C-alpha cells in the first residue's frame, strides 16, 4: 500500500481553495492525507478554512502559520507541509488551481508500482486558462514533449528528453517520493518567484528514475496581473529578473548535468539583456551599460558588443 500526502499551501483565498480541496477529496485513490498549510490568513478567513476542513477531519490536517507582513511564501509552506507528511509520496496542488482528473493519483500509483526498484518523480501535464476564461494556447510547461514522446502511456524519461522542452513541470503535475524531495533540498525559501522552476531543474538533475505521463491532470488558472494576491503578480518585472538570476547562478554552480548548466548560462545572458533593455527604457544608462556588459561577458556576439558600446557612450554623455 502506497500512502500519498497532498500538500496545499494557501492564504486568504478560501473561495478558490475550496475548489482545489474538492478536487483532492474526490480523488479515487483512497490512501491519502491532505495537508493544508495556511500562510497566516486573517482571523475571519482562517475561521472559514477551519469550517471547510471540519467536514473531513479524518482526511485533512490544517496548519496555520504565524502571520507575517509579507507571508512566509509558498515555498516555505510546501516545505512545511512535506515536513508534516506521513506519506511515502507527496503530491502538490496550488490553492487557485485544481485537478481535473479524479483518477490522477490512482494512475500514478499504479504506474510507479510497475517499477519495484523505485521511482523518484512522475511528471504529468496540465492546461492553463487566462483570467477571462480563455484557453492559453502557447506551450508553458512540458506539454510539448507529448508530441515527440510518441506514446500516451507512462514511460521512463531521461534528462535530455525533458530538456527538449523549454518549459518545466508545474507543481500541480509533480508526484514525488518524499525522501527524494528532502534529498533535493526541498523548495528554495529564499526565492520570491519561480521557486517551482528552480525546484524542477534541481530535481531532474539529481533524479535516478523519472517517469512521464503525457495526460492532462489539472487546470492552472493564470493569475490576474492586475491583482497582487499571487506571487507571480506581486513581484515587479525587475524583481522577477533579479530573483531568476539568484537561482540561475546557484544552479550554474551546483548542477551535475552539462546540458542543464548550459541552459542556465543561456538564461543568465537573456536576463542580463532584459535588464539592460529595461534600464535603457528608464534612462538609467549606467545600469543599462553594466548589465549589457554582464551579458557580453557570458556570451560574446558582435551585434551585442556594439550595443554595449552604445550604452556605455550614453552613460558617459547623459550623466
- List, as one string, the DSSP characters of 167-203: S---GGGEEEEHHHHHHHT---TT-SS-HHHHHHHHH
Q: Give the span between the Cα atoms of 121 and 213, in whole angstroms.
A: 11
Core vs surface per residue 43-63: b (16+ CB within 10 A) or e: eebbebbeebbeeeeeebbbe
What is the per-residue pLDDT for 67?
Answer: 85
Whether 233 has a pLDDT exceeding 70, the answer reads no
What is the per-residue pLDDT for 227?
Answer: 62
Q: Tell me the average pLDDT across 148-155.
A: 81
Q: Tell me the average pLDDT across 139-146.
A: 89
Asked whether 156 and 76 are in contact (CB, 8 A), the reply is no
Whether 234 has a pLDDT exceeding 50, the answer reads no
* Cα 107 from chain centre: 22
C-alpha cell read off for 171: 507543481
Q: Give the span between the Cα atoms of 216 and 72, in whole angstroms.
A: 30
Instruction: State the fold for domain 4-234.
Output: Spore Coat Polysaccharide Biosynthesis Protein SpsA; Chain A (3.90.550)
What is the per-residue pLDDT for 230?
Answer: 54
Q: Give the span between the Cα atoms of 119 and 181, in whole angstroms.
A: 12
Q: Tell me the average pLDDT across 46-68.
A: 93
Asked whether 175 and 121 are in contact (CB, 8 A), the reply is yes
Q: Give the span between the Cα atoms of 87 and 276, in whole angstroms.
A: 46
What is the per-residue pLDDT for 149?
Answer: 75
Asked whether 108 and 88 are in contact (CB, 8 A), the reply is no
At 5 the three-state DSSP class reads: strand
In the chain, domain spans: 4-234, 237-317
Whether 134 has a pLDDT exceeding 50, the answer reads yes
Q: Tell me the average pLDDT across 220-232.
A: 70
Question: Tens digits of per-residue pLDDT, 156-190?
Answer: 999 999 999 999 999 999 999 999 999 999 999 99
Amino acid at each position: 500500500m502506497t500512502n500519498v500526502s497532498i500538500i496545499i499551501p494557501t492564504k486568504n483565498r478560501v473561495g478558490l481553495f475550496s475548489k482545489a480541496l474538492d478536487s483532492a477529496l474526490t480523488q479515487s485513490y483512497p490512501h491519502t492525507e491532505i495537508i493544508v498549510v495556511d500562510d497566516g490568513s486573517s482571523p475571519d478567513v482562517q475561521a472559514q478554512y477551519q469550517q471547510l476542513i471540519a467536514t473531513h477531519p479524518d482526511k485533512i490536517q490544517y496548519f496555520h502559520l504565524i502571520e507575517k507582513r509579507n507571508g512566509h511564501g509558498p515555498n516555505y509552506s510546501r516545505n512545511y507541509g512535506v515536513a508534516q507528511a506521513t506519506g511515502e509520496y507527496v503530491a502538490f496542488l496550488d490553492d487557485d488551481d485544481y485537478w481535473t482528473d479524479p483518477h490522477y493519483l490512482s494512475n500514478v500509483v499504479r504506474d510507479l508500482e510497475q517499477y519495484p526498484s523505485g521511482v523518484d518523480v512522475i511528471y504529468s501535464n496540465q492546461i492553463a486558462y487566462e483570467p477571462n476564461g480563455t484557453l492559453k494556447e502557447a506551450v508553458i510547461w512540458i506539454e510539448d514533449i507529448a508530441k515527440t514522446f510518441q506514446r500516451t502511456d507512462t514511460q521512463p524519461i531521461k534528462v535530455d528528453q525533458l530538456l527538449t522542452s523549454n518549459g518545466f513541470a508545474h507543481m500541480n503535475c509533480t508526484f514525488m517520493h518524499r525522501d527524494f524531495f528532502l534529498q533535493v533540498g526541498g523548495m528554495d525559501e529564499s526565492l520570491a518567484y519561480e521557486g517551482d522552476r528552480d525546484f524542477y531543474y534541481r530535481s531532474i538533475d539529481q533524479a535516478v528514475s523519472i517517469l512521464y505521463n503525457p495526460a492532462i491532470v489539472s487546470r492552472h488558472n493564470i493569475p490576474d496581473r492586475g491583482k497582487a494576491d499571487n506571487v507571480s503578480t506581486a513581484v515587479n518585472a525587475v524583481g522577477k529578473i533579479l530573483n531568476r538570476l539568484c537561482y540561475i547562478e546557484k544552479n550554474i554552480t551546483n548542477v551535475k548535468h552539462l546540458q542543464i548548466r548550459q541552459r542556465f548560462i543561456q538564461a543568465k545572458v537573456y536576463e542580463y539583456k532584459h535588464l539592460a533593455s529595461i534600464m535603457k527604457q528608464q534612462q538609467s544608462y549606467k545600469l543599462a551599460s553594466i548589465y549589457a556588459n554582464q551579458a557580453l561577458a557570458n556570451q560574446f556576439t558582435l551585434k551585442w558588443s556594439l550595443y554595449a558600446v552604445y550604452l556605455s557612450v550614453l552613460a558617459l554623455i547623459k550623466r
